[in-house]
A and B are shown apart, each in its own frame.
Chain A
Amino acid sequence: MKHTVNLAALTLSAAFILPGVAANAQDLRVTVWTGSDAHLAMLNGIADGFVAENPGTTVTFETIPFSEYTRGLTLQLAGGNPPDVGWLLESDAPTFVSAGVLADIGPALRGDASYDYADFAEPAMGLWVDGEAVYGVPFSTSPFMLYYNATAFAEAGLPTPNELATDGNWTWDSLRSSAATLSDGTNGFWGFEGKDGQGYDSRILHAMMPLIRAYGGDAWTDGQCGFTSAESVAAMEMYHAMIFEDGSVVPPGEIGDFFAGDAAMTINQISRVTRLAEADFDWGIAPLPAGPAGQADVIGQAALVVFEQGENRDLATALIAHMTSSVGVETMAEFFPPARSSVLASDVFTQGNPVIAPEQMMLVRAAIENGIVLPAHQNYPQIFAAMRPRVDALWQADADVSAVMASVCDAIAGDL
């Protein structure tokens, strides 16, 4: 009997005390959306260095799939189980900052002379800074680049986008012309694919912004909707014609993946290059084509943030400082283009990717230096939900592009 009582007491003690022990040991949990083995191996390698400097600490990377990331993260916060550190997309930055759920890590970063906070370009920090407060450090400032299937271009006897760019002829018109020539929809091969095949639904802004900005338009600026501008409408009329007149874009409702060899070109970020490891075709990376308004690079950004609710905020901040130090950023630059000016300017960046040639990494560098981050807004979830069904109307053969763009502006005006 006594033995049973002791066992029960021990069990109860373990149940109540062990979580406390675990908390004291300062296990840091970092939520990420990548499931790539290569990405996780790199992140764990960086974290190993932090653990070595902070004995007794552990760092665990927890993958939440991209499509569920914001929701999953929010539920963890609402459930009182916040991660210590998390990745956050540029589109979510204003919402999370205004909600007050992110910790200000500015004093710690600025106070560490060896960290060299000033090395981060001011435009790159724009979304993550509010006055003196710093709510995140971008680990990826990834420009949209044009991936192309060099084998398909060679077989068609067409100049590649890079050759056209060298000659100064790489424009959306020449992309349209190449896509139309390369397209053979009846055999399941198209000239162009929207970002990750999701350009008609969850990534409509990713699909639209490179084109709209190249034409001189924008999504919204200073609370004013920009989709109805003549430039934005002209851009989308061109894209609509590519889909429904030329038949050169993987159309809505079809599945055609550039990385599987189903399309000759796509616009994506360099982190997707891991998907080309086993491609059975030659490929290349080119700058985005220029439009009537010239070259307009678009950047997708993601940052490391510390959550206000977290119990280990100081240690979590130290982890971010470690990961985004010059050494950490140099390591991550293989997949995630840096916002640190010194790393961006160094050969480490251009020569650090084993898959992408240095001359093509130079193009990535130029795009980062000149690019503008994707649109973001405090009411982004509401804006996106309001515009998405209106934009759906654009993906019909008989769509009145101008009217659709006007309906988009009507729908989001209240949230802007």
Chain B
Amino acid sequence: MISPDTKSATARKTRAPLLTLRRREAMEAWLFLSPTVIGFVVFFLGPLIAVFGYSLTEWNLLTQRATWVGLENYTDALGNNPDFWPVLSNSLIFAVGLVPMNMALALCLALSLSRPAFGNVFFRVVFFAPVVTSAVAWAIVWKFLLQGEAGAVNQMLATVGIDGPNWLREPDWAMFAVIFTRVIKMVGLNMILYIAALQSVPRDYEAAAVLEGASRWQIFKWIIWPLLAPTTLVIMVVTTIGSLKIFDHIFLMTGGGPENGTLVLAFYVYQQAFEFFDVGYASALAVIMFVVILALTLLQVALRNRNAS
């Protein structure tokens, strides 16, 4: 018979350490991750959840009075607000106009500048420079260039006999003008991504195709383009999301005008929150915008996967 004292001494000897190696590693990992996780929860997840909560209230930013209204903000935006659908339509027109133009131009520039050649680095810098240029400076310069008669763009058009429109003041042209100037500003970023992807395409494939007598177009169509597919998907998703969230460019270039012709959803959310102080309604619109962007992103990924399979 073993005495209780002896049993206790044995248990002390064989007891596992307080922290096993596995637990200690896990704890260290969490400690290292904690700044990011805390930042994510506090600055992203928290506000995101809060926006859902706010969207169910009528909350006036100025008076700080909030009233629970359930889904009323959503039903009003989707069913009763005559501005909502034109605004959503403007956002989609902006995205549909910008994404293909941006991607096509970025690909063309990347194909031209991906190979080592004299002056290519210079031109890459030239096309990338607008990306890092201040949005305010960019807008001011383009507002000068796109003036009615006195603008440089119209004066250049006049030299070839074209009577240019008042770009930022005519509803038919303002959306085109903001899309075009945004494309010129941001195309450099996608160009760099495409250049990186092109430089990772093995040269052997191309050399083999040349030996087989393939034309440049055939090489692009059957070798390069398929290999660029993952990059293209990333660029398309990111550019689409960015274009649907566009705010600063519209704010600075047109303020949503003329005649609300460039009033996009993000700007409309801003207007509701910071001009009308209606945070609850703005939050509901932000949630709708989130759902639209999420749906379009998932659709793009699904279409891409179907094509790939």
Chain A 361-388 per-residue mask, 1 if CB under 8 angstroms from chain B, else 0: 0000000000000000000011001001
Q: Any chain B CB within 8 A of the CB of A393?
A: yes
Chain A 387-410 per-residue mask, 1 if CB under 8 angstroms from chain B, else 0: 011101101100000000000000
**A residues less than 8 Å from B143 (CB atoms):** 255
Closest to B171 in A: A392
Q: Are A74 and B274 in contact, CB atoms less than 8 angstroms apart?
A: yes
Q: Any chain B CB within 8 A of the CB of A157?
A: no
Q: Any chain A CB within 8 A of the CB of B61?
A: yes
Q: Any chain A CB within 8 A of the CB of B28?
A: no
Residues of B258-309 at the interface with A, using a CB-CB cut-off of 8 Å, are: 258-260, 263, 271, 274-277
Q: Any chain B CB within 8 A of the CB of A37?
A: no
Q: Are B260 and A389 in contact, CB atoms less than 8 angstroms apart?
A: yes
Residues of A318-373 at the interface with B, using a CB-CB cut-off of 8 Å, are: none
Contact of B64 among A78, A188, A393, A396 (CB under 8 A): A78
A253-B167 contact, Cβ under 8 Å, with A74-B61, A96-B62, A388-B257: yes
Q: How many residues of B contact A (CB 8 A)?
A: 31
Bound CA–CA A253/B164 (angstroms):
13
Binds A, one of B6-14, B73-81, B98-106, B145-153: B145-153
Q: Any chain A CB within 8 A of the CB of B144?
A: yes
**B residues less than 8 Å from A393 (CB atoms):** 258-259
Nearest CB of chain B from residue A201's CB, rounded to whole Å: 6
Q: Are A95 and B62 in contact, CB atoms less than 8 angstroms apart?
A: yes
Q: Are A255 and B147 in contact, CB atoms less than 8 angstroms apart?
A: yes
Bound CA–CA A235/B253 (angstroms):
29
Q: Are A395 and B169 in contact, CB atoms less than 8 angstroms apart?
A: yes
A254-B275 contact, Cβ under 8 Å, with A78-B64, A389-B257, A396-B170: no
The A interface, classified by DSSP as helix, strand, loop or mixed, is helix
Q: Any chain B CB within 8 A of the CB of A194?
A: no
Q: Are A252 and B62 in contact, CB atoms less than 8 angstroms apart?
A: no
Nearest CB of chain B from residue A395's CB, rounded to whole Å: 6
Closest to B146 in A: A253
Chain B 61-72 per-residue mask, 1 if CB under 8 angstroms from chain A, else 0: 111100000000
Bound CA–CA A109/B67 (angstroms):
36
**A residues less than 8 Å from B260 (CB atoms):** 389, 392
Bound CA–CA A396/B257 (angstroms):
13
- 8 extra A-B contacts, CB within 8 A, seeds A71-B275, A253-B168: A75-B274, A78-B64, A99-B62, A185-B150, A255-B150, A382-B276, A392-B258, A393-B258
What are 30 inter-chain pairs, A to B, with CB distance below 8 A?
A78-B62, A78-B64, A96-B62, A99-B60, A99-B62, A100-B63, A101-B63, A185-B150, A202-B255, A251-B148, A251-B149, A252-B148, A252-B169, A253-B151, A253-B166, A253-B167, A254-B147, A254-B148, A254-B150, A255-B144, A255-B147, A255-B150, A381-B275, A381-B276, A385-B275, A389-B259, A389-B263, A392-B171, A392-B258, A392-B259
A positions within 8 Å CB-CB of B: 71, 74-75, 77-78, 95-96, 99-101, 185, 188, 200-202, 251-256, 381-382, 385, 388-390, 392-393, 395-396
9 nearest A-B pairs in the assembled complex, by CB-CB distance = A253-B169, A392-B258, A389-B260, A253-B148, A253-B166, A99-B62, A252-B169, A392-B259, A99-B63
